[in-house]
Amino acid sequence: MRRLTGAGVSHGVALGPAVMLMQNPLVIRFAIPEDRVEHEVVRLRDARERSKRQLREIGARLDLRARAELRYLFDAQILMLDDPLFVNRAEDLIRTERANAEWVVWRACSGLAAVFDEVEDPYVRERKGEVADLSGRLRMNLRRARDGALFDEVEDGAVLVADQLSPSIAAQIDWTRIQGFATDAGSRTDHTAILARSLHVPAVMGLMDISARVAPGSMLVIDGTMSEVLIEPSADQVAEYRDRRERWVAVKKGRERQGSGPAKTADYLEIRIDANIERVADVEAARQQGAQGIGLFRSEFLLAGGDGSAVAASEDAQYELYRQLVDQARPDYVTVRLFTEAALDEVAGELSARELRGIQLRALLRAAIHGPLRILVPTVSGVGDLRQTRTLLAESQAQLEGRGETCGPLSVGAMIEIPSAALTADMLAREADFFSIGTNDLVQYTLGASRSEPRAAALYEPLHPAVLRLIRQVLEAASRVNVPVALCGEMAADPVALPVLIGLGLGTVSMNPAAIPTTKQIIAQLRAETLRAVTTRVLSLATAAEIEEYLAHCLGRDPRDELPLGSAAEGAQT
């Protein structure tokens, strides 16, 4: 038995087999039962074949667009997929270490990348980036093939060990199945620590290197009250902590997640929660998690698998997908984000991006007769983009009516994800039926930061005063003309940012379906009256660091306390 001491950020006891998560990149590792080893090998082989088909299709599209000189980049990735250094290594790892395929891909690709590090030729070393791209594609195909939520293959009663755990990932975890967590990094004032306390999930953070000390499947005890983790405890210790765990669970009863109804604050303000999804099959999962509607359907994912160019060019194929989407979501609305310019450029062949957009709009107009359907215009920079879409929509409707087709009504929304759109929100509000704030890109473009670029990641601060003021400006402009506003970025499920957003007057959020139950729990502990006072104070602070510190004081005091904003305005008076 080994005992590690860290920062106990949320009281309670959790014990069970360890499941591992490495967040950069996001890789989950857990032990595979002996009778599922060959099944996991088959999953890996299927993902390889799917990836090879996609790479060949990309190369074929490049040929059609007279960009054959770029095809070698994707041919090289196909060769990597057939390289015994990768293939044999990956399958051996599954069989010898009984590891899941997602982790094996990351491990094998890391080994392949290390080979490039040893090459002296700088041109060859630059090809290391293609290994990372290939790794991401394989893991994407494995994830889509698994067709489930985060940790869906993990047995109930496990505990999570991670190098770090961001709020956006923590909010997607079913904490009725994962009993608690321990991390290398973190402290009591982290957003994830505050989330753990609000959900009463036992947690110890700041353990430095626990992710390197623990093997998947190891028995762990996480004692958030005593700020310690026991690795491979004795049978007597397991019995003692299991008894303490049962007493803790008895106390925790009654604090569990809300049901399928709307989210309400402690003083009965209703907050609408919609879901962000990528596939028609996700509608039912979103409804089960308590979503009231589909706030964002990322239509570009229709182009990601199979022959994307064929899907984009086929009005009937798109119509059938949107019809199924509306049928499954009815009576709730569905919001379809139109193909982005980047997605259209990827599949454009003989047809122009404008022609492909027209095909999509005709398919959506036809599908709108089956139920409430809204379209969201992406990357709006100003009124001109919205007017251009409305013009093309009118042309598409005229074409359908000329064919004798019936068109349904489509609400047209503007996605506010570029500062210029936020700054002209008063003008956009006079021409849009609704707004959806995409905070992931809004933060990046406002601050010149990127979550994926290590050198700029430190600049990515969702609670920066400039970001909050832009969001306030959008909400105020929309409110003056009664235009509904939703927010669909990661801030929606952030346990620290969400109270500020509600305090600003936001009434609708949209998020990954798995994050909805947790978000409902957080909202139920908040008082809207208090949040308005807290937000007034937040908007007077000069830096993101000052805002973080103030909110940590309001939200994250002693882990035995309930969330202070749920019962008093003391934090707002500090």
Which domains does the chain possess? 2-26+154-252 (3.50.30.10), 31-146 (1.10.274.10), 263-573 (3.20.20.60)
Phi and psi of 22, rounded to 5°? -110, 115
User: What pLDDT is attached to residue 64?
Assistant: 52
Burial class (CB in 10 A: 0-12, 13-18, 19+), 99: buried
User: What pLDDT is attached to residue 215?
Assistant: 87
pLDDT tens, residue order, the chain (574 aa): 899 999 998 888 999 999 988 766 677 888 788 888 998 899 898 888 888 887 777 666 555 544 455 555 677 788 888 887 777 888 888 998 888 888 888 888 777 677 666 666 555 555 566 677 777 778 777 766 554 456 777 788 899 999 888 877 787 788 888 999 999 988 877 778 878 887 789 999 999 999 989 988 899 999 998 899 999 999 999 999 998 888 777 755 544 445 556 899 999 999 999 999 988 888 998 998 899 999 999 988 777 655 566 677 789 989 999 999 999 999 999 999 999 887 777 666 677 888 889 999 999 999 999 999 999 999 999 999 999 999 999 999 999 999 999 999 999 999 999 999 999 999 999 999 999 999 999 999 999 876 655 556 678 899 999 999 999 999 999 999 999 999 998 899 888 899 999 999 999 999 988 889 889 988 998 999 999 999 999 999 999 999 988 988 887 544 334 445 654 333 333 3
DSSP class of 35: G
Q: How far apart are CA 42 and CA 57, in angstroms?
A: 23
Q: Residues, the chain, total? A: 574
Q: Which of 252, 269, 264 is nearest to 199 (CA)?
A: 252
Judge whether 309 and 65 are in contact, CB under 8 Å: no
Judge whether 60 and 310 are in contact, CB under 8 Å: no
Is 488 noted as a catalytic residue in this protein?
yes
The number of C-alpha atoms within 13 Å of 418 and in the hemisphere containing its C-beta is 14
Which residue stretches of 348-411 are H helix? 353-367, 383-402
Please name the residues in contact with 167: beta carbons below 8 A apart, sequence gap of 6 or more: 191, 192, 195, 490, 493, 494, 495, 496
The tokens describing 363, both together, are 């398919």
Q: How far apart are CA 427 and CA 460, in angstroms?
A: 28
Please name the residues in contact with 379: beta carbons below 8 A apart, sequence gap of 6 or more: 340, 341, 385, 415, 417, 418, 441
Q: How far apart are the first and last CA of the chain?
A: 45
Residue with tokens 């890789």: 27
Burial class (CB in 10 A: 0-12, 13-18, 19+), 139: buried
User: What pLDDT is attached to residue 125?
Assistant: 55
Angle formed by the axes of helices 497-504 and 528-538, nearest 10°: 100
Q: How far apart are CA 37 and CA 444, in angstroms?
A: 42
- Choose the catalytic residue: 11, 109, 407, 488: 488
Which residue stretches of 403-496 are H helix? 419-423, 425-429, 439-447, 454-457, 465-480
The number of C-alpha atoms within 13 Å of 14 and in the hemisphere containing its C-beta is 30
Radius of gyration of the chain (CA): 25
DSSP class of 127: T
Which residue stretches of 118-234 are H helix? 122-125, 128-146, 167-170, 191-199, 210-213
Judge whether 55 and 77 are in contact, CB under 8 Å: yes
Report in angstroms the alpha-carbon separations of 325 from 301, 398, 416: 14, 24, 24
Q: What is the pTM of this model?
A: 0.72
The tokens describing 425, both together, are 């929100």
User: What pLDDT is attached to residue 569?
Assistant: 38
77: Cα separation from own chain's centroid: 27
- Choose the catalytic residue: 191, 200, 370, 464: 191
The tokens describing 19, both together, are 């499941």
Q: Which of 9, 186, 183 is nearest to 561 (CA)?
A: 9
Report in angstroms the alpha-carbon separations of 194 from 50, 171, 247, 525: 40, 11, 23, 13
Is 191 noted as a catalytic residue in this protein?
yes
